[in-house]
Structure 1
Amino acid sequence: MNRIDHSRRSFISRIPKVSAASLAATGLLGGKWAYAKTAVKPNIIFILADDLGYADLSVYGQRHFETPHLDKLAKQGVRFTQAYANSAVCSATRFGLITGRYQYRLRGGLEEPLSSSNNNIGLPVDHPTLPSLLKKQGYKTALFGKWHLGSLPTFGPLKSGYDTFFGNYGGALDYFTHKTNVGPDAKEGLFEGEVPVEKVGYYTDLIADRAVDYIKTHDKKNPFLLSLHFTAPHWPWEGPEDEAVAQEIKSLFHYEGGSLETYAKMVKSLDEAVGRVLKTLDANGLAKNTIVIFTSDNGGERFSDTWPFTGQKTELLEGGIRVPAIVRWPAAIKSGQVSEQVAITMDWLPTLLSAAEGAPDPAYPSDGENLLPILFGAQPVKPRTLFWRYKGNNQRAIRSGDWKYLKIANNEFLFNLAEDVRERANYAERNPEKFNELKQQWESWNKTMLVIPQEANTHVVDGTLQADRHGVISTKK
């Protein structure tokens, strides 16, 4: 037996229950679907935090509090150090996640964030999505938590591939009152399917409660996709013991409140909620063949830790788009890995479909890449070229290999991220060839995307663009 044959057999013997399509993606089966008849498709739990900073988990460098459950999850799988969000804001990234494509291909993806007052803009109900494509592979699908891809009656998770939904349709709600604003005219924010409901409890816990019940009652006849899209640690700044604060908040944006201590409570509550879900998987014998992914929709906001990066939500600096990303699949993925592979939100659709023996709709090819070969250790880290744009202050960015071109207002930069993750040393004049190459590459890519109309909604964190650290004058919206 030669070394290649031995390596192939050794690899396959470690993961006997992984689907044939998944293994074929690595090239290790040599085109032979040896396990097609006995393969068990994995369950999938996709956990999305809201506005979580890169270093808000202790496994990513948080120094002031612990996140033991997510730290343990990282040790049991793969932790990415160069994962990106599709956008620096919530709604746009969610378009990238659910479609597996650049959000700029859809009108709704140009709204940053998506305006809940416009019922004509959202995720088209006929567009293939991660849940709708998994349903074709026999999956049951559920979303608990934040939707933020268009308002009723035109749009909604039940219209775009989910069998079950409990959560909020808009961008945020109070963690205790579950309303979309404050005052007597504030609307109820919680829905069961498409019907408004009232619940008692801290929203992070309510989402975890529903996830636990869903796993416990799973009939095991069909694999499931369980999307847990928490609003934590998005404003308003309320920890699980801060119910009294909800009665005093003057605006849901909560400009007058919050603290590092409260933020820590919110993140720790999120960690505990994830821990409950993982414990339920173990108790029901589902952990081994369940893919669990944890990541964030964009970089952190005012109380987040984005070290060692600069920038935050609404900015295309690394702190606004670099996010934690963890993947665990005990049946197939070796534990204790740290990957430097550059990845992005829209990669998860082709990756998860491959694990489920499916593929993106050929009429809507994914802009992302299948990460299974990387996760299986069958392919070395490879360079990527990724693009971003953000209407606020006319921002644009491209990362190609270690190089990043960035424009903020009329200021342009070229950074070498391998040497300078804080984006301080501007190589634009020192390396004009690379600067012009990336700038032209971005222009060419941009021509393939929808034009952002003037009326597209945009917001900036705290009402102020934080890019003045690069010489840009901050502007109030």
Structure 2
Amino acid sequence: MTSRDAHTPAEPRSGTPLTRRAFTTAVGAAAVTAAGTAGAAPATAAGTAAADVPRERPFRAARGKHARRPNILFILGDDLGWADLSSYGSPHIRTPHLDGLARQGVRFTDAYAGSATCSPTRFSLYTGRYPGRTRGGLAEPIADRSAGLEPTHPTLASLLRGVGYATALIGKWHCGYLPDYSPTKSGYDEFFGNFGGALEYYSKLGLGGEYDLYEGDAEYKDLRYYTRVLTERASEYVRRGHDGGPWLLNLNFTTPHWPWIADGDTGASAEIVRRIEAGDRSALRHADGGSVEKYTEMVEDLDRSVGEVLKALKRSGQEKDTLVFFASDNGGERFSYNWPLTGNKSSLQEGGIRVPSVLRWPARIEGGQVSDLPVFSPDWTATLLELGGARPDPAHPLDGISLAGYLLRGETPKERDLFWRVRGERALRRGERALRRGDWKYYRGRSGTDQLFNLAEDRREQADRAKTDPGRLAELRASWERTDSGLLPYPKAS
């Protein structure tokens, strides 16, 4: 038996199942050759007898030695729900390019964002640490100029740049505003995009009514549909030669974040701009707009845009040597399709933090694979640093673990806890807490009641095991509190 239900709508339509229990039953000659090391001996996951390990094909690395450090194209969608891709089970959204990316690489079923909202997750990705390690990460999300990612803090970009990578961020930054905070102050050679959490797709007006499209730290005028502009910029970047050296591109789309405006919706755009200019600070949230159909249009446009960038990458001759990763920054909003998960963005229920995640690296990893290993944003930071030949700063230890050994050599990652906390957008609203260990999740929602779920059997978080397994509940709660005690406290409500 695997640890996932076998026949739910959100299961893969193609690909080789790769469960945590099956992962290290064998590595095979392909992984040994690609990694350039001796093969790992067959092993089992903790607590699993060898006879219980399913005889499924193991994780496979691509054949042939290949020592070149990868280019890294890290793509984020914005508020994209876990099942909003057809390869994750959406019955009405068609995403052929992202589905193809998954078929050519690895699709992760149990991948999580570092937090339940935009900017804390970006902090966790750029730093490889819990958002609560830094003052700027306490904002959920950043909404003004009082906080941001300190330029002195090492980042994925600064550490990779230190070992020879060219670095760029195209799209949504959302880790602080000028003059104190900027991608160019945090390790990126180039920046083209917006600083804030949202903007109107044509006018580029942000939440405060400010114009928010920049090249470097200077305003850049372009009133075309934002997703088109970002796609063009990203395609141009990957086509460059970069003098033969490796590069990192963080491509952060704002799609399908509100306002619910698709390419060509100039009338809806004009109305929102009119409201913004009249002083309506709620206009961008578009609470009176949108629909399932409009959301579908935006997600399918995101898919086409990713396809355009991938086509440019292929034509550049760098596809084989480029690691492409796609994910969402948190769970979906009100028009997302999250079945069978419960909850949405801002919640630590599964629908708020579990996100679609796919990885492709043709030179090193074979396609058609599916993994149910629990992973989250800081893990990708640690992984990319190792693959790029960079070392973390010992003064700022990572909270994620590198998955390089898992991906390339069939090594079973040591079981550890995934930790989350959120205070919520309103200072007086009760926060949430969550911790996942293996298949088990400890959760305390805004009701203040501790709950315990076995996610392998109940991804929808409806069968509360708190009363039937109080010992496990107490153990996981204590672990959450130990981790929380080492983080910065949230500021007191004023």
> What TM-score comes out, normalization by structure 1 length?
0.87
Tell me the residue number matched to 1:90.
118
From 324, 327, 335, give the equivalent of 1:303: 335
Segment of structure 1 superposing worse, 196-205 or 373-382: 373-382
1:275 CA drift (Å): 0.3
CA contact (8 A) 1:334 1:376 kept: no
Question: Given residue 127 of structure 1, which amino acid in structure 2 is its aligned partner?
Answer: H
Which amino acid counterpart does residue 244 of structure 1 have in structure 2?
G
Return the letter of the residue paired with 2:382: P
TM-superposed CA distance for 1:197, in Å, is 1.4
Structure 2 counterpart of 1:65, from 93, 98, 105 = 93
Structure 2: runs of 5 or more not aligned: 1-25, 42-64, 276-282, 425-429
3-state SS of paired residue (2:157): helix
How far has the Cα of 1:96 moved from its partner?
A: 0.2
In the alignment, residue 126 of structure 1 is paired with which amino acid? T
**Contact 2:32/2:409, CA 8 A, preserved across alignment:** no
Tell me: CA distance 1:10–1:261, structure 2 relative to 1, closer, same or farther (3 Å): closer
Distance 2:383 2:270 in 1: 43
**Do residues 219 (structure 1) and 253 (structure 2) align?**
no
Q: 1:285 to 1:373 in 2, by over 3 A?
A: same
Cα RMSD, aligned residues only: 2.0
Equivalence for 1:161:
187
The residue number in structure 2 matching 1:402 is 439
Q: TM-score, normalised by structure 2?
A: 0.84
Name the structure 1 match of 2:361.
329
Counterpart of 1:312?
Answer: 344
Q: 1:26 to 1:355 in 2, by over 3 A?
A: farther
Deviations 1:314-361 (A, max 9, x none): 100000000011000000011100001110001111101111122211
d(CA) in 2 for partners of 1:10, 1:191: 45
What do residues 256-307 of structure 1 show as CA deviations (whole Å, max 9, x unaligned)? 1000111011111110110011111111110001000000110000101111
The 5 Å alignment of 1:340-379 reads: 340-376=372-408, 378-379=410-411
Q: CA deviation at 1:406?
A: 0.7
Deviates more, 1:329-338 or 1:393-402: 393-402
Residues 10 and 245 of structure 1: is their aligned pair in 2 closer, same or farther, counting only changes over 3 Å?
closer
Contact 2:29 2:39 in 1 (8 A): no
Contact 1:46 / 1:294 at 8 angstroms: preserved in 2? yes
Is 1:450 aligned to 2:473, yes or no?
no
For 1:8 and 1:434, the matched residues in 2 are separated by 37
Does structure 1 conserve the Cα–Cα contact (< 8 Å) formed by 2:27 and 2:40? no
Shift of 1:455: 4.2
User: Alpha-carbon deviation of 1:378?
Assistant: 1.2
Please list every run of 5 or more consecutive structure 1 residues that lacks an aligned counterpart in the other structure: 1-5, 16-21, 29-36, 457-477
1:388 aligned residue (387, 412, 420): 420
Matches within 5 A, 1:466-477: none
Distance 1:39 1:228 in 2: 25
Does the residue aligned with 2:302 lie in a helix, a strand or coil?
A: helix
Quote the residue 1:113 is aligned against: 141
Tell me what 2:323 maps to. Answer: 291
> What are the residue-to-residue correspondences of 1:261-272 with 2, within 5 Å?
261-272=293-304
1:414-454: CA deviation from partner (whole Å, max 9, x where unpaired)? 11111111101111111111111111111111111111112
Q: For residue 222 of structure 1, what is the amino acid of its counterpart? A: G
Give 3-state SS (helix, strand or coil) of 1:354's partner.
helix
The answer to whether the 8 Å contact 2:342/2:350 transfers is yes
Deviations 1:343-385 (A, max 9, x none): 0001111101111122211221211011122222512466431
How many positions carry a matched residue from both structures? 431
2:161 corresponds to which of 112, 135, 153:
135
Alignment equivalent of 2:202, drawn from 176, 179, 188: 176
Q: Does the CA-based 8 Å contact 1:238-1:246 persist in structure 2?
A: yes
Point out 4+ residue stretches in structure 1 off by more than 4 angstroms.
Answer: 6-10, 22-28
CA contact (8 A) 1:26 1:373 kept: no
Deviation at 1:8, TM superposition (A): 7.4
Q: Structure 1 residues 24 and 93, CA, compared in 2 at 3 Å: closer, same or farther?
A: farther
1:149 aligns with 2:175: yes
Provide the secondary structure at the position in 1 that maps to 2:418.
strand
1:248 equivalenced with 2:268 (yes/no): no
Whole-angstrom distance in 2 between the partners of 1:306 and 1:218:
40
Task: Give the CA deviation at 1:65.
Answer: 2.2
Q: How far did residue 146 of structure 1 move?
A: 0.4
Match of 1:53 in 2: 81
Q: Residues of 1 paired with 2:30 and 2:349: CA distance? A: 43
Q: Which residue in 2 is equivalent to 1:191? A: 214
% of aligned pairs identical?
50
